[in-house]
């Protein structure tokens, strides 16, 4: 992976440059809408539903929400991670001296609970580079199989914590000379991940072209994307999205509100380190093992993403959701949208459906017009064996 010190600046323009670089390799994934989910999200929750939660006794929020689902579950490799991985590889191939130093033969290495592993293997295979992947021994079997069998990578297993995985990856680097491509804590990765939100903005404009023309003709309010919410784990997707939604150079003083960016996390076993870190004003560098079914969201926010999410204040808030809320959102997406997403993918939707703090904000700022809310479905890699447990609400 390209040396971070030579990385492009962390700006919207760099996300646009990343997009130009990776476009030949990735899918422009579809943006879907769903009237049933819009209706559900725009219906106030009942006082009974709020009983036993931190919002018990509060007047339920009455937001109006129109969802725009960016379906990265349809991305190559089944997750947005292909964007960062292809960007890292393309940047690496352009690094002065890399090829002459035997970079092609040494290849790349990473550690990942799954989707980044698949994505890097896919991107390495596309450039005929060897890929070494360190995976936690408890990783989803379907993800291990994809990495080893479909993308022909060399798989090594490690313990489940971030520290154990990093140590195992360091050993592979020492043995093979392969270049480390971390899953999220690197400028090239997060710039690549931000391209999904860039496409979402273009697609929103395309899908609303007629409404925009009608508004221009009548002097009405033109359609605009009010906000985007993404899952938060290591922070590559959320921080890249924040850059993609930030103003272009020279447009910082443009009138009107910006596109707000939000994150969502599972609260089980302290996996909501991002939310807690923002509250205390300091990044939480390590979290214990968590049992959340959102198996892509088990790592703490990385250093580089944190500078965007926290220091530069480009993310407005991060919301926590419970396991039951994740399962309900998952079931809605499968049953109503007919789309296969993994549990990690729906935490943003779960926040919009169930988190009263977020819903009250949308009610307050969106008013009667409501908000057009982009939701990034991060991936769809889920094993069909053991599915029943996934939808059984009485298990955590």
Residues that bind a second copy (CB under 8 A): 30, 73-74, 78, 142, 331, 334-335, 337-341, 380, 384-388, 391
**Catalytic site residue from 14, 112, 113, 140:** 113
* 189 vs 345 by CB, closer to a second copy: 345
In the complex, what is the shortest distance from the CB of residue 179 to a second copy, in angstroms, rounded to a whole number? Answer: 28
In the complex, what is the shortest distance from the CB of residue 341 to a second copy, in angstroms, rounded to a whole number? Answer: 7
Active site residue 239: no
Q: How far apart are CA 174 and CA 102, in angstroms?
A: 15
Closest listed residue to residue 137, CA positions, set 110, 156, 119, 162: 156
Using N-to-C axis directions, what is the helix angle for 115-126 and 81-93, rounded to 10°? 40
Active site residue 81: yes
* 319 vs 377 by CB, closer to a second copy: 377
* 15 vs 345 by CB, closer to a second copy: 345
Q: How far apart are CA 15 and CA 246, in angstroms?
A: 10
In the complex, what is the shortest distance from the CB of residue 374 to a second copy, in angstroms, rounded to a whole number? Answer: 19
**Catalytic site residue from 70, 81, 143, 327:** 81
* 152 vs 313 by CB, closer to a second copy: 152
In the complex, what is the shortest distance from the CB of residue 119 to a second copy, in angstroms, rounded to a whole number? Answer: 15
Sheet holding 227-231, edge to edge: 31-32, 65-71, 371-377, 227-231, 260-266, 317-321
109: buried, middle or exposed (CB in 10 Å: 19+, 13-18, 0-12)?
buried
Q: How far apart are CA 231 and CA 93, in angstroms?
A: 30
**Element containing residue 65 per DSSP (H, E):** strand 65-71
In the complex, what is the shortest distance from the CB of residue 140 to a second copy, in angstroms, rounded to a whole number? Answer: 12
Q: Which residue has the tokens 């979290």?
A: 287
Residue 395 zone, left/alpha/beta (φ > 0; ψ -120 to 50; rest): beta
* 30 vs 222 by CB, closer to a second copy: 30
Any idea which residues carry the catalytic annotation?
A: 81, 113
């Amino acid at each position: 992976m390209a040396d971070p010190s030579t990385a492009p600046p962390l700006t919207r323009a760099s996300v646009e440059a990343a997009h130009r670089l990776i476009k030949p390799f990735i899918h422009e994934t579809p943006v879907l809408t769903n009237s049933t989910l819009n209706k559900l999200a725009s219906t106030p929750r009942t006082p009974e539903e709020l009983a036993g939660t931190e919002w018990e006794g509060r007047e339920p929020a009455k937001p109006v929400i129109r969802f725009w689902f960016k379906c990265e579950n349809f991305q190559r490799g089944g997750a947005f991670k292909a964007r960062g991985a292809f960007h890292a590889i393309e940047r690496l191939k352009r690094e002065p001296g890399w090829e002459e130093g035997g970079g092609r033969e040494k290849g790349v290495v990473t550690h990942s609970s799954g989707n980044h592993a698949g994505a890097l293997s896919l991107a390495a295979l596309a450039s005929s580079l060897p890929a070494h992947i360190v995976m936690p021994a408890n990783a989803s079997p379907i993800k291990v199989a994809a990495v080893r069998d479909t993308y022909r990578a060399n798989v090594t297993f490690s313990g489940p914590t971030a520290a154990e995985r990093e140590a195992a990856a360091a050993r592979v680097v020492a043995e093979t000379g392969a270049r480390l491509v971390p899953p999220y804590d690197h400028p090239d990765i997060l710039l690549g991940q931000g391209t999904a939100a860039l496409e979402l903005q273009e697609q929103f404009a395309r899908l609303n072209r007629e409404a925009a023309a009608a508004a221009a003709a009548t002097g009405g309010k033109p359609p605009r994307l009010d906000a985007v919410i993404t899952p938060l784990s290591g922070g590559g997707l959320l921080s890249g999205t924040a850059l993609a939604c930030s103003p272009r150079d020279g447009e910082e003083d443009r009138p009107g509100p910006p596109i707000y960016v939000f994150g969502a996390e599972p609260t089980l076993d302290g996996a909501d380190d991002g939310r807690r870190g923002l509250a205390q004003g300091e990044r939480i560098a390590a979290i214990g093992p968590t049992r959340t079914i959102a198996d892509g969201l088990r790592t703490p926010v990385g250093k580089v993403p944190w500078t965007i999410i926290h220091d530069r204040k480009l993310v407005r808030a991060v919301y926590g959701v419970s396991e039951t809320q994740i399962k309900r959102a998952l079931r809605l997406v499968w049953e109503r949208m007919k789309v296969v997403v993994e549990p990690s993918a729906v935490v943003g939707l779960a926040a919009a459906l169930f988190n009263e703090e977020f819903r009250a904000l949308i009610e307050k700022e969106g008013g009667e017009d409501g908000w057009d809310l982009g939701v990034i479905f991060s991936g769809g890699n889920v094993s069909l064996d053991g599915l029943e447990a996934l939808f059984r609400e009485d298990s955590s």
